[in-house]
Amino acid sequence: MTLTSTNRNPQLNSHGELTHLLSTEGLPHEVLTRILDTAAPFAAVAEREVKKVPLLRGKSIFNLFFENSTRTRTTFEIAAKRLSADVINLNINTSSANKGESLLDTTDNLAAMQADMFVVRHASSGAPHLIVQHLAATGQDHIHVINAGDGRHAHPTQGLLDMYTIRHYKQDFTQLTVAIVGDVLHSRVARSQIHALTTLGVPEVRVIAPKTLLPSGIERLGVRVFNDMKEGLRGVDVVMMLRLQNERMQSALLPSAQEYFKSYGLTMDKLALAKPDAIVMHPGPMNRGVEIESTVADGSQAVILPQVTFGIAVRMAVMTMLAGA
Ligand code: CP
């Protein structure tokens, strides 16, 4: 695939097939649904004694995590190994990136090692997109790129595993009211969730946050804004909590963690305002006692650990759709 002015979405080729995964924004309903449908049989692979299928045998997948990660990096590695790919985890701390090598020089060198796929996490929004543009410009567009989280921009596989989780527990997106609660301003996860939820037909997506943690113009993404958590949680089917991202806050946007918890922390009392069968989600890592109380995080309505498990199947689905035989 070559990036041209006629190809507006660099994730899709001229046949509408996924060639890279950079964002859930702009992915058609049909593509999102195909990813979720493809993930379902991979979830069953995990139940087998031999948890491997040969779909990516002979492929070399490079995990390039320029930012910390527990869940995403590990589940990408498990997913690639279950697909029989060769996985190379570049240790950024001991790589030549530490000697000043540029991102594109690093990927050029890995491309020279016959890479088939880059899984990229980076603190800079747009870094995976920059790699895609560079690969196209240098005739290396047979290498697929998956965004594993870039700055505040997007975390598409997190958004997709969240959609898989919601569909698993609630089946029909078109009957749901979903609330996203917390630090929307700094959250790449929230953006990926909102784009996926609205495309999949969720009729009411609410965002609940103090004004200081909401990007201006968020309503334009098709969400209802609430500053009062109790009002916003009333009658919802799904509560998606967000981590308070202190590392991305450039100034004091909140009085204190205790004040934040009082107004926006999910407690059993506040959860009682949602539907009795509402599910509670969190992408992790959690700040217990800041955005979520332990009794909720470990309670019967929480599906936080199943989210992690489903992440393996969803990442297997994405990698297979990109590079499978
Ligand atoms: N949800 C998520 O991205 O977690 P990690 O930072 O541990 O990968």
pLDDT per position as a tens digit, 124-168: 999 999 999 999 999 999 999 999 999 999 999 999 999 999 999
Distance CA 161, CA 310 (A): 6
| Per-residue pLDDT at 9 | 87
Kindly give the distance from the C-alpha atom of residue 173 to the centroid of ligand 1, in angstroms, as a whole number: 24
**Mutation pick for ligand 1 pocket among 120, 158, 186, 312 (CB with most ligand atoms within 8 Å):** 158
Mean residue pLDDT across the chain: 94
Is the pLDDT at 249 greater than 80? The verdict is no
Distance CA 313, CA 308 (A): 10
DSSP letter at 216?
Answer: T
Is the pLDDT at 120 greater than 70? The verdict is yes
Is the pLDDT at 7 greater than 60? The verdict is no
Alpha helices in 69-173, H assignment, sequence order:
71-82, 103-111, 127-137, 156-170
- Asked whether 285 lines ligand 1 (CB < 6 A), one says yes
Kindly give the distance from the C-alpha atom of residue 164 to the centroid of ligand 1, in angstroms, as a whole number: 17
- Asked whether 283 lines ligand 1 (CB < 6 A), one says yes
Kindly give the distance from the C-alpha atom of residue 157 to the centroid of ligand 1, in angstroms, as a whole number: 10
| Per-residue pLDDT at 274 | 98
Question: If pLDDT is split at 50, 70 and 90, which confidence band does 103 have?
Answer: very high
| Per-residue pLDDT at 254 | 76
pLDDT per position as a tens digit, 191-207: 999 999 999 999 999 99
DSSP letter at 218?
Answer: G
Tell me phi and psi for residue 277, to 5 degrees: -100, 20
- Asked whether 245 lines ligand 1 (CB < 6 A), one says no
| Per-residue pLDDT at 27 | 97
Which run of H or E residues covers position 37? helix 29-45
**Mutation pick for ligand 1 pocket among 69, 155, 245, 309 (CB with most ligand atoms within 8 Å):** 69
| Per-residue pLDDT at 298 | 98
β partners of residue 238: 178, 279
Look at ligand 1, atom 3, and give the residue with the nearest C-alpha.
Answer: 72
| Per-residue pLDDT at 118 | 98
- Asked whether 69 lines ligand 1 (CB < 6 A), one says yes
Look at ligand 1, atom 6, and give the residue with the nearest C-alpha.
Answer: 69
Q: What is the CATH number of domain 29-155+309-323?
A: 3.40.50.1370
Give the residue range(s) of CATH 3.40.50.1370 domains in the chain. Answer: 29-155+309-323, 156-304
Cβ pair 23, 147 in contact under 8 A: yes
pLDDT per position as a tens digit, 252-302: 677 788 999 999 999 999 999 999 999 999 999 999 999 999 999 999 999
**Mutation pick for ligand 1 pocket among 63, 64, 67, 71 (CB with most ligand atoms within 8 Å):** 71
| Per-residue pLDDT at 248 | 66
pLDDT per position as a tens digit, 292-325: 999 999 999 999 999 999 999 999 999 999 998 6
Q: Report the predicted TM-score, pTM, of the whole model to 2 decimal places.
A: 0.95
> In terms of Cα–Cα distance, which of 199, 281, 203 is closest to 32?
199
Kindly give the distance from the C-alpha atom of residue 188 to the centroid of ligand 1, in angstroms, as a whole number: 11
- Residue 129's identity, in one-letter code, is H
Cβ pair 87, 77 in contact under 8 A: yes
Angle at 210 between CA 204 and CA 213, to 5 degrees: 90
| Per-residue pLDDT at 2 | 37
- Asked whether 311 lines ligand 1 (CB < 6 A), one says no
> In terms of Cα–Cα distance, which of 18, 37, 9, 43 is closest to 310?
43
DSSP letter at 52?
Answer: -
Domain 156-304 - what CATH class?
alpha beta
Kindly give the distance from the C-alpha atom of residue 194 to the centroid of ligand 1, in angstroms, as a whole number: 18
Is the pLDDT at 4 greater than 80? The verdict is no
> In terms of Cα–Cα distance, which of 141, 93, 94, 151 is closest to 118?
141
- Residue 115's identity, in one-letter code, is A
| Per-residue pLDDT at 100 | 94
Distance CA 34, CA 55 (A): 17
Half-sphere exposure of 256 (CA within 13 A, CB side): 3
Q: How many other CB atoms are there within 10 angstroms of residue 140's CB atom?
A: 15
Alpha helices in the chain, H assignment, sequence order:
29-45, 71-82, 103-111, 127-137, 156-170, 188-199, 229-233, 257-264, 268-271, 294-297, 304-323
Q: How many other CB atoms are there within 10 angstroms of residue 19's CB atom?
A: 21
**Mutation pick for ligand 1 pocket among 66, 70, 75, 76 (CB with most ligand atoms within 8 Å):** 70
Kindly give the distance from the C-alpha atom of residue 73 to the centroid of ligand 1, in angstroms, as a whole number: 8
| Residues 68-73, mean pLDDT to the nearest whole number | 97
Look at ligand 1, atom 1, and give the residue with the nearest C-alpha.
Answer: 283
Half-sphere exposure of 141 (CA within 13 A, CB side): 20
